[in-house]
A and B are shown apart, each in its own frame.
Chain A
Amino acid sequence: MKVSILIILTSFLVAGDIKITCEEHLFNLYPKNRDIRMHIFQLDKQIKNKVENIVKQRFYKDKLYYWTITEGDSTKAYAFLDNVIGKSMPITFMVILNIDGEIENVNVIKYREAYGSEVGSKSWLQQFINFNNNSDYSIGKDIDGISGATISVKSISKGMKKITTLYPLIQSQLK
């Protein structure tokens, strides 16, 4: 009975295909001697509002899924799964921060619209590597736009800023 509930609950948390995609991506990025585990972080209302006001973009939900990447006893990186709204559908992405809060990797996990999927291209996402909470995420300055994907480009860029802005405020609470 307990196992059954656990199976249902786990699948309820993150739909199967997204969880599998995320973990496959993480296993490919990190060597086998690193331990990868999923957790849920419940966003504190005050911190959530503070970050949303700075970035001018809401968090999709009150919780974030994240994975710890550890080697032995020390955590090497955190991978956050979040969503931003594109033209009308959520764009699910994963951003991996090193323990100093700098972006190590970005990946669009799921893009649900017919137009604008170029935001998932590796060459465009590469621009965010090494960005942190002090970087300039404005499109047209340090981040190039994409013709035909103006809405999703802006949303994703703000989404990155949201995670890097949040990280220093919650770092001590992460597993």
Chain B
Amino acid sequence: MKLLHLFTILLLTIALNAQDDFFEPGYSIGGYGELHWNRELNKDGETTKNQMDFHRFVIYYGYNWTEEWSIKSEVELEHNYVQDGEGELELEQAYVNYHTDKWGFQGGVILPTVGLLNEYHEPPLFLSVERPDYNKYIIPTTWFGNGFAFYGNIADFNLRFALMEDIEGEGIIADGHIRGGRGKGYKATGYSLLKNMSAVYTGISGLRLGASLTLNDAPIDDNPDTSISIQMFEVNAKYSANNIYAVFEFGQNSFDGNNTTTDYYDDAGNKIGTLKTSSGYYLDLGYNIGGMVNTNKLIPWLRVSNVSIDTDTDSKITDYMRFGLTWWPIDNIAFKMDYGTKTKKSDSNNPTTQINLGIGYNF
């Protein structure tokens, strides 16, 4: 009788301890959005672009069943509506997450850890109205797709390994850069599988250092017999402390055809070049003067950048200079304005001037 009594107590105790006292199952909702007003002028001061656009409207939706098991999702609407080939409605994240204190795994539509912005792309987290072109053509942000990821924390390092769908080789050839190869999860192939390995260090207060290597043999038209071997290496650093705001990213991608060339063409069918290497960087430097003008955060900033979509072709090498002012009345809302030039190496006497205004939020 005593044994049974003790056994019952033990079972009850285990049952009560099976779930944390502080956790309660429930829904979570969040999101972000950004309005942009983009203007471009040629070297004669003539307006070549004048566009207002609610570029992104995003909802995060998740559910936590237990401390360990949850689902997270992100749905995005771009450019106000989807109709006649305009606008985009995308499922950018939808994954089951298993999490313990030190490690976890995810499965579903996930993001690879590449660059600073791919996983952290909410508007109040970067300075400029538009995301840097480096995060468009060198790291194809937002890059998402079907796959699995394992992650773990050791000391002040966060390590992650993601295994994802193949990049679309024909998309790279069609667009002449890595961004064209994003399958976005739509009936993608899994022959070579994308391998994304990353490490992030946050052991020094205010500083975040990251690096990643991504490998894939991207099939052409879903046929693995012809593919493009892709290797992407990047490093990134962000320092945000003592009112200093500094971001640096550098990346290099290499492309090598297997039973195919990596020649790419313009719309008229003329060959532009052979895609072998893309590389780029940007450096943002800013200083928070919010304390001087009695506001939360106000950062004047400067950017220098180079984006070489094809390092061998001058028309695909662009230099950028930009400066701007970003104001956060509260941390979740940013009002942005920036002014800058972009100059192609093949046409260095014809810089394009860009003037942008924007509002962004996240919650």
Interface residues of A (CB under 8 A from B): 4, 7-8, 11-18, 60, 83, 87-90, 92, 110-115, 117-118, 121, 123-124, 126-127, 139-141, 144-148, 150, 154
Contacts and interface: CB of A to CB of B under 8 A. Distances in A.
B238 A147 contact: yes
A157 to B, nearest CB: 11
Interface stretch (B187-195, B198-206, B222-230, B312-320): B198-206
A16 to B, nearest CB: 4
Contacts, number: 108
B23 A89 contact: yes
A15 B97 CA distance: 23
Given A7-B13, A114-B97, A145 B30 contact: no
Contacts of A123: 156, 203-205
Contacts of B203: 121, 123
A145 B9 CA distance: 46
A147 B116 contact: yes
Contact of A18 (B20, B99, B151, B206): B20
A157 B212 CA distance: 30
B22 to A, nearest CB: 5
B349 interface: no
B70 interface: yes
Which of A13, A111, A147, A154 has the largest number of chain B CB atoms within 10 A?
Answer: A147
B274 interface: no
A4 B202 CA distance: 46
B205 A126 contact: yes
A148 B124 CA distance: 12
A4 B208 CA distance: 50
User: Which 3 pairs of residues, A with B, have the shortest CB-CB distance?
Assistant: A88-B28, A144-B241, A144-B206
Contact of B240 (A4, A13, A15, A144): A144
A122 to B, nearest CB: 8
Given A114-B104, A140-B288, A92 B17 contact: no
A109 to B, nearest CB: 10
Contact of A150 (B62, B125, B204): B125
A145 B120 CA distance: 14
23 contacts: A11-B17, A12-B21, A15-B19, A17-B17, A88-B30, A90-B22, A90-B23, A92-B22, A110-B101, A112-B99, A114-B99, A117-B153, A118-B156, A118-B202, A118-B208, A123-B203, A124-B202, A140-B288, A144-B205, A144-B242, A146-B206, A147-B208, A148-B120
A7 B12 CA distance: 10
Assign chain B's interface to a size class. Answer: 35 or more
Contacts of B28: 87-88
A118 to B, nearest CB: 4
A60 B20 CA distance: 14
A154 B331 contact: yes
B331 A139 contact: yes
Contact of B331 (A4, A115, A124, A150): A150
B268 interface: no
Contact of A148 (B19, B119, B242): B119
Contacts of B104: 114
A139 B245 CA distance: 13
Given A144-B240, A147-B240, A111 B101 contact: yes
Contact of B9 (A7, A14, A121): A7
A111 B151 CA distance: 14
A124 B120 CA distance: 20
